[in-house]
Every structure is written in C-alpha cells, then in structure tokens.
Structure 1
Amino acid sequence: MKPKSLVGSLALAALVAWNAAPAEQPMTPPKPDALTEVASHIPGARPDQLRLSPIQGIYEFTRGAEIAYVTSDGKYAIAGDLYDLTANDDLTETHRREVRQHLIAAVPETDMVIFGPKDPKYTVTVFTDVDCGYCRKLHSEIAEYNRLGVRVRYLMYPRTGPDTSSWTKAEQVVCSPDRNDALTRARLRARRNTRHRHGERRAAARLCPAGRAGEAPQGRYRQVAASARRGPGAKRSLRARDFSARGDSACPACLPTPWHRAARPSSR
C-alpha cells in the first residue's frame, strides 16, 4: 500500500471510531460520603463547601470567599478561574458572587451604619474607611442617592488595621448613639485635616530651597521651631510663613522629623 493510501485509511478509521463513541452522559452529583472522603484527603484545610466541578474528578473547594480546585485524592490543587469556553462564561466568578452575597447577608444590620429610605429601590453595601478620600466623596453625595431610592449600608473597614487613628475613629462611630451623625462628622473632620496638611506641604515645598528630602540641617530647624513656640499664645505648630520670615533653609518638606515632633524649647 502506498504511503498516501495508508494515511488516508488511518484518518478514515479514526473518524469512524470518533463517531461511534458513545455520547457523554450527564454528570451526576457525588454522594455525601464521597465528598466527605475527598475532604479528608485535603491536608490542613476544612472547606466551607465542596462540590464537584464541571470537570470530572476535579472538585471545587470554597473557604470563605476563596475558591480553588482540588483533585479527588487531595494531592493537587489548582488556583485560578474556570472558564466555559462554549458559553464564554467565568464559572468561578459566578460562584464567587454567590458566596459574597451569602457572606454579606449573614452580617446583621445592627453592625452597619445605614443611610436611606426604609423601602428602597436598591440596596448597596459599602466597606468604608473614615480617612478614605473616595469614601468621603461617596458620602458627600449620599443625600442624592437616598433621594433616588438607593439605600447605602456601610460596614466599617479601617484599612490601617488595629491600634491606628482610622481604627479608633471607626470604633467611635460604631459606639456612638447616633452612628449616622457620628460618621458624617468624622468624615468632615478628616476632610478638613487632609486639606490642612496638604496646604502646609504645598507651601513648605514652595519655600524649600533644598528641593528634596534630607538636605536641610535638622538642628537648625529645631531652633526655629522652638523659637516659634515661645511666649504666651505661641503657635503649637510651625507654619510655612515662619520659614519665610526667618529666611531659614529648613522646612517640613525636607526633614525626616515632622515639625510637630520637633524638640521642645528649653526652659529659659
């Protein structure tokens, strides 16, 4: 037989075998005992949910809001999203949205700060930080959202973690008898403080002859800071105008130590 004829015969045989293959049977959900056995094979982790994925022999492992895929023997794990190329759908993200909704629904509204009508058209749950500029921007428009029937439920989320200023502010809001008023006032204070700090930094940068951090003599700066605080009614912090009046080369923009932490003047 010639080579071309041999290749053609093999291709035809493969096509016949493919067409003769039985149709794929619908996937049946595993029995509870099977899931328990698979979970027992996964070392050091107890899933909140374990279910068979669309891939035979691969299980979807859910813990909190995290989703991964594991083999039935627990030896291998796959991190990443699973896509259905036929439907062009991210199956993992679809399940992840369901998990998020379930987790948020489990949080009682007594732990939230809620702005909006009792019978809203829409409800939005927001993780918020008092010192977050974007959060302040959203809250500045909260009345308009409420007017349009949008109810906003805040969950306090100080990004800097425990034992920080943002954490303390969040505690004060949650422990206040009027959380809505406390949150609004805290945001207004944070906004004013941010504007004040940014204004001083810009003014200091304009007056700084060094041009970048670390080039000014810290000792000389402390003397200027101390003299600015002497006498009755003296200022508690050093302003940019103190530098321009004294012609000093040091400024808050180019010192490793913030001006409000400068050495106290001696008792002379």
Structure 2
Amino acid sequence: MPVESISASPLPGLYEVRLKGSRVLYASADGQYVVQGYMFQLKDGKPVNLTEQAERVGVSKLVNAIPVAETVVYPAIGETKSHITVFTDTTCPYCHKLHAEVPELNKRGIEVRYVAFPRQGLGSPGDEQLQAVWCSKDKKAAMDKMADGKEIKAAKCDNPVSRQFALGQSIGVNGTPAIVLADGQVIPGYQPARRLASWRSVLNNPVSSR
C-alpha cells in the first residue's frame, strides 16, 4: 500500500494513514495493527464521520489541483459562487442529461469543469471520443456536439485523458457522471441542477483556480 502521509488521529494512540489517492486507514503507534473503517466523533449527540471528512480533504486537493486548462470549463454567469468537477464520458446517457442542466448551474453561479473518464477503459469508444474533444480547437463546442448526439472528427494530440482517468480511479470513481464538489465530496450519478445548487457543500465552498 503506497503511503502518502502519517499523522496523529483525534483518538490518542491511533494514527491516520493516508494512502496515495484519498483512502484513509488507521494504525497503532508501532505499526503492528491497522484498522480499516470509519471513525466517528459524537458532537452534540450526533455522529460526525471523521474518516469521510479526511478523505474529502484528499480528494479536494487532488481534483482541485487539475489545471483548469486541462478541463472543459463552463463558467458561471455573473458572480462565481463555487465550482463542481464532473468526471464524464461522451458515450454516457446520464452525462448528456447532466450536460443539459449545465446552463442552469451556470445561472446559479456554479462553474462546471469537465474531466475525462472513459467508463469502459482506455482504448474504448468513449476514450477515442474524449480524446477527440480534448484535441479540438474549441473543446466546449466539441463537448456540446457530443452531448447532442452529433459526431466530431477523430483527433489525436498530447492530451490528459489517460491521466484524468487514472486520477478518477484513484479517488474511487467507477462510473459516470461522477460529480466532485469543491470540498471533495464525490457524488456518483446524475443530480438535477436545482438539487446540486442547494447543497451546503456547494454553497459554502468558493471557486478555486489553477
């Protein structure tokens, strides 16, 4: 298991072990015992999932470190309140459904950043299509065409599709669309714009730029 960092956990005698990617385990001080699972803290009588919070921090750092220039960006209209990152596949019907709601998200002040995740793997039709989008002179126009069921010319160039696919796998993405909020929360599957825009995790996290 590739270990990225080790730090003290909130529970005395137990250490937080962050693996490469976003996964978090716990270990004894001598390293002889490892615990896999969630750690909860009771606050005002309610359980708070500390492991999930720690894993979100890792996801947020990785995803928000993706250069914006390597994404397909749909900027917010007016004030940018927050952003979401969407792992997408042009062969995915629910990705098309979510894409139809991007204008509504933009109107609500949410910037949408697409990254590539060919759900059937590298070398699949989705991979070829995503590479064509990322190699287009106008990535937004190419993405719009694909979402409308239109074809674009196949293209090859130095592109980040394989890197983004690997990143998605490292944080547990296994299908599309996968929506990552600014705080690192990963939401699998389609969600309507109104629901996304109302979530506290979206409202309380400002946009980051790279």
Q: TM-score range by the shorter chain?
A: 0.5 to 0.7
Equivalent position to 2:74, from 115, 123, 143: 115
Q: How many angstroms apart in 2 are the aligned matches of 1:142 and 1:125?
A: 12
What's 1:173 paired with?
Answer: 133
8 Å contact kept, 2:7–2:16: yes
8 Å contact kept, 1:131–1:190: no
Are 2:109 and 1:149 equivalent residues in the alignment? yes
Are 2:17 and 1:92 equivalent residues in the alignment? no
Q: How many angstroms apart in 1 are the aligned matches of 2:85 and 2:34?
A: 32
Are 2:13 and 1:61 equivalent residues in the alignment? no
Q: CA deviation at 1:102?
A: 1.0
Give deviations 1:44-103, integer Å, cap 9, x for gaps: x44212111122221100012110011122222111110113552111111112111111
Are 2:39 and 1:82 equivalent residues in the alignment? yes
More helix by share: 1
Equivalent position to 2:8, from 52, 60, 64: 52
Equivalent position to 1:71, from 12, 28, 39: 28
Unaligned runs of 5+ in 2: 152-210
Q: How many angstroms apart in 1 are the aligned matches of 2:96 and 2:24?
A: 32
Give the count of matched residue pairs. Answer: 147
Higher relative contact order (CA 8 A, sep 6+): 2
More strand by share: 2
What's 1:125 paired with?
Answer: 85
8 Å contact kept, 1:61–1:68: yes
Are 2:99 and 1:139 equivalent residues in the alignment? yes
Which amino acid in structure 2 is aligned with residue 74 of structure 1?
A: G
After superposition, the CA RMSD in angstroms is 1.9
Give deviations 1:10-67, integer Å, cap 9, x for gaps: xxxxxxxxxxxxxxxxxxxxxxxxxxxxxxxxxxx44212111122221100012110
Give deviations 1:144-175, integer Å, cap 9, x for gaps: 22223221111111111111100100100111
Q: How many angstroms apart in 2 are the aligned matches of 1:129 and 1:103?
A: 20
Specify the SS of the correspondent of 1:160. coil
TM-score, normalization by structure 1: 0.51
Unaligned runs of 5+ in 1: 1-44, 192-268
**Residues 147-226 of structure 1 aligned to structure 2 (within 5 Å):** 147-189=107-149
TM-score, normalization by structure 2: 0.65
Larger radius of gyration: 1
